[in-house]
Amino acid sequence: MKTKEFQSILKKKKIDFALFYNVDYDKADANMLYFSGYKGIGALVITRNRKFLIVPKMEIGRVKGIKRHVWDKNYRLFEFVKKKVKGKVIGIDKNVFTLNHYKELKKHFKNAKTADISKICGKLRTIKANKEIKIIRNACKITDSILKKCFSNFKMFRKETDVAAFLGNETKKLGCEMAFNPVVASGKNAAVPHHVPENIKLKNGFCVIDFGVKYKGYCSDETRTIYIGKPKEKEIRLYNFLLGIQKDAINNARIGKKCHDLHNKVNKDLGKYKKYFTHGLGHGIGIDIHELPNLTEKSKDILKRGMAFTIEPGIYFKNRLGIRIEDDILLVEKGIEILTKAKKELITI
């Protein structure tokens, strides 16, 4: 994605080449995946006019559509990189480059300087290309369909982990991965925003289900809160109050708006409940489940066309209950496109 744009930035910033690496076969380096489609072990080099991977022999079957060299294991990774590229200024993502890898890099590129390209990469990735938008749109569609199926089958689940297993199973059956370990939080567990599903009976009350898939490398992220049992009047009121705020927050998102203004508007709307809203309003989605922009109190990000992000206000009463409603939206020229479309009126089971 956007290699040419990136290369012209390298030129402008007087960076000779950018270097990305990944030492873990099961976790991709997001930038490497973005620029090369490759998610295995190895290194990616992008010069002002070339782009190639260096991969161990065991990983060559995973490389597609990009030039690659086989990493000769007689050399350390960056030592081998040096055989393939020269330069005085190396662009590295200092948000992910570790201190020991940096030390190793300096060992082999003694006189080179490094430039932090984390912001460059972050900014490129935050504005989605049409190809990415199509993928994310599909990821959201898949998520909707799985959530719908989950709710219509909900009576057969006995435990929080049953729900998580169902979500995982449906995801895998469609050839997707899960974007993250889903949250299935019933009863007072719902007050813990990142609750890990437990092997315990589903409790009555609100049940927060936060779930997303990874489809063709891109994440969706959707939360619905349903009710197990019969909700009290005031619980329904609380849910609808939050739902109204969530809808307003979505409608408030427009090109040019400041992210912190969106968050703070929700804080204001929450009134006396503000203190029970303990996280950010939203975050960008893409290859990573958390990308730019940040929709938080102190964010300096500004909304731009092509950004895809979540809107997810929540209210959490410790040891009592929790409600969160989250959609993924895309900023388009004329306003917004809501990507996730699962029913938002309170579902009772």
Give residues in contact with a copy of itself (CB under 8 A). 24-27, 40, 56-59, 61-62, 73, 92, 94-100, 102-103, 116, 118, 159, 161-162, 164-166, 168-175, 177, 180-181, 191-199, 278-279, 289-290, 297-298, 316, 318
Q: Which tokens is 104 given?
A: 């190793």
User: What contacts 326, CB < 8 A, 6 or more positions away?
Assistant: 210, 221, 222, 223, 224, 246, 282, 310, 311, 312, 340
Q: How far is the CB of 177 from a copy of itself (least distance, A)?
A: 6
Would you tell me how many other CB atoms lie within 10 Å of the CB of residue 305?
13
Please tell me the distance from the alpha carbon of residue 276 to that of residue 333, in angstroms, as a whole number: 34
Q: Which tokens is 201 given?
A: 């009976």
Contact (Cβ atoms closer than 8 angstroms) between residue 307 and residue 284? yes
* For a copy of itself, the closer CB: 73 or 88: 73
Q: How far is the CB of 264 from a copy of itself (least distance, A)?
A: 14
Q: Which amino acid, residue 250?
A: I
Q: How far is the CB of 58 from a copy of itself (least distance, A)?
A: 4
* For a copy of itself, the closer CB: 58 or 236: 58
Q: Which tokens is 122 given?
A: 């972050």
* For a copy of itself, the closer CB: 184 or 336: 184
Residue 46's SS3 state is: strand
Query: Tokens 């329904």 correspond to what residue?
Result: 236
* For a copy of itself, the closer CB: 98 or 240: 98
H or E element at residue 116: strand 113-116
Q: How far is the CB of 279 from a copy of itself (least distance, A)?
A: 5
Q: How far is the CB of 290 from a copy of itself (least distance, A)?
A: 7
Q: How far is the CB of 333 from a copy of itself (least distance, A)?
A: 33
DSSP character string of 55-79: E-GGGGGG--SS-EEE--TTS-HHH
* For a copy of itself, the closer CB: 153 or 278: 278
* For a copy of itself, the closer CB: 79 or 337: 79
